[in-house]
Amino acid sequence: MENTVLLYDSAEDILTASKLIRKGNVVGIPTETVYGLGADALNPEAVKKIFKAKGRPADNPLIVHIYKIEEADKLGHDIPNIFYRLAAIFWPGPLTMIVPKNDIIPAETSGGLDTVGIRMPSHRVMRELIRLTGPIAAPSANRSGYPSPTSAAHVMNDMNGKISAVIDGGESRFGVESTVISFDDENTVRILRPGSVTSEMLMEHADNVIIDDAILNDIAEGREAPSPGMKYKHYSPQADVKIIDGDFENFCIYVNNNQGINTFCLLFDDDDTNKINCRYVTYGSDSSQQAHNFFAKLRELDSLNADRIFVRPPQKDGVGLAVYNRLLRAAGFEVIRV
């Protein structure tokens, strides 16, 4: 057991965190997407500690976070022009781009792949930390398979005793992990994980944008996952998550006829809760709010000992697609249409 120190976002505490990371330790860090577990991306022993703390399968690669664009040229090679064009528009921000990796990236960081996912985050604390430290590898700071953390308290809940420190930088702004893309060719972007940089936004800057099949469907049998994370169960609270897709009237009829002892609903803020005969929490009235709240609400439902959650699914475009992708994975891709 390690003593996990809670740090704040002062210059002094960020320097403390940087020293811990440079010495090969793991620190929980705030970003604009979700909280990450950061370690020196170029130090294989440090990176192994991330996998151990999370219980993450060794073949699921880590995203490497950089401070300035020149660092991308050190980490990757044969980087297409479109990478730089998109970086100029969306960085710093919640977009991860996959390119062939250089030897400087240890196999531990890339999960044994010959590519690396690179992102330049915008969160002030994360940026300062990278500036002081160098490239930081950071997956989401949850136990593998569980909902991602969007506050320092969530990270403490999952990681207390397993990592050196957590920096409290407030609630994560977006609440869903970065958009992950690869390039089929110079003008074709493939979205491997939807996020707050949406397909609609990418379409304004690339000729072709493909939403990979595995975003809305379980990985097809016999197909190799283009992103290892697609293979694994993800984002799941303790409770059984059920997506009930249809208008609110039919949602209510279904729920009122199918509840068990500790059933809860996850609703929109503006749903007429008089019509529902079940305990509930709400997660916002538009897709951005729902992205911001989704993981925190799943964690809240765990703390209420929910054993089944009937969820009103978000819109399936814009940022809603990112939330829906997480929800589908939490529900094992099963959708009940009403």
Residues that bind Mg ion (CB under 5 A): 140
Question: Residue 7 or residue 141: which is nearer to ligand AMP going by CB?
Answer: 141
- Contact yes or no for 147/241 (Cβ under 8 A): no
Rg of the Cα atoms in the chain: 20
- Contact yes or no for 47/39 (Cβ under 8 A): yes
Rounded to 5°, the CA angle 300-157-27 comes to 130
- Nearest Cα neighbor of 284 from 317, 258, 311, 307 is 311
Q: Tokens in use for 68?
A: 């300035």
Q: Using the structure block, give the residue that is written with the tokens 């793991």.
A: 26
38 binding ligand AMP? (CB under 6 A): no
For residue 224, the minimal CB distance to ligand AMP (Å) is 11
- Nearest Cα neighbor of 181 from 104, 112, 85 is 85
**Span from 201-209, 222-230, 239-247, 314-322 in contact with ligand AMP (CB under 6 A):** 222-230
214 binding ligand AMP? (CB under 6 A): no
Question: Burial of 71 by CB count in 10 Å (0-12 exposed, 13-18 middle, 19+ buried)?
Answer: middle
Rounded to 5°, the CA angle 48-51-54 comes to 145
For residue 137, the minimal CB distance to ligand AMP (Å) is 9
What is the Cα–Cα distance from 63 to 116, expressed in whole angstroms? 7
Give the one residue of 30, 61, 106, 284 binding ligand AMP; rule: CB under 6 A: 61
For residue 206, the minimal CB distance to ligand AMP (Å) is 18
Applying CB under 6 A, the site for ligand AMP has a residue count of 19
For residue 234, the minimal CB distance to ligand AMP (Å) is 8
Residue 322 contact partner, candidates ligand AMP, Mg ion, none, CB within 5 to 8 A by sort of partner: none
Give the one residue of 113, 167, 176, 267 binding ligand AMP; rule: CB under 6 A: 113
- Contact yes or no for 322/95 (Cβ under 8 A): no
What is the Cα–Cα distance from 176 to 192, expressed in whole angstroms? 14
- Contact yes or no for 168/6 (Cβ under 8 A): yes
Nearest position to ligand AMP, beta carbon: 229
**Span from 108-116, 163-171, 195-203, 213-221 in contact with ligand AMP (CB under 6 A):** 108-116
Give whole-number Cα distances, 42 to 79, 106, 107, 177, 232, in Å.
Answer: 19, 6, 10, 22, 25
116 binding ligand AMP? (CB under 6 A): yes
Residue 152 contact partner, candidates Mg ion, ligand AMP, none, CB within 5 to 8 A by sort of partner: none
Question: Residue 31 or residue 293: which is nearer to ligand AMP going by CB?
Answer: 31
What is the Cα–Cα distance from 93 to 288, expressed in whole angstroms? 15
**Span from 128-136, 214-222, 227-235, 320-328 in contact with ligand AMP (CB under 6 A):** 227-235
115 binding ligand AMP? (CB under 6 A): yes
177 binding ligand AMP? (CB under 6 A): yes
In the chain, the amino acid numbered 308 is R
CB atoms within 10 A of CB 133: 23
Q: Between residue 314 and residue 333, which ones bind ligand AMP under the rule CB under 6 A?
A: none
For residue 153, the minimal CB distance to ligand AMP (Å) is 19
Residue 39 contact partner, candidates ligand AMP, Mg ion, none, CB within 5 to 8 A by sort of partner: none
For residue 177, the minimal CB distance to ligand AMP (Å) is 4
Residues contributing to the site for ligand AMP (CB under 6 A): 60-63, 98, 110, 113, 115-117, 139-140, 177, 180, 192-193, 227-229
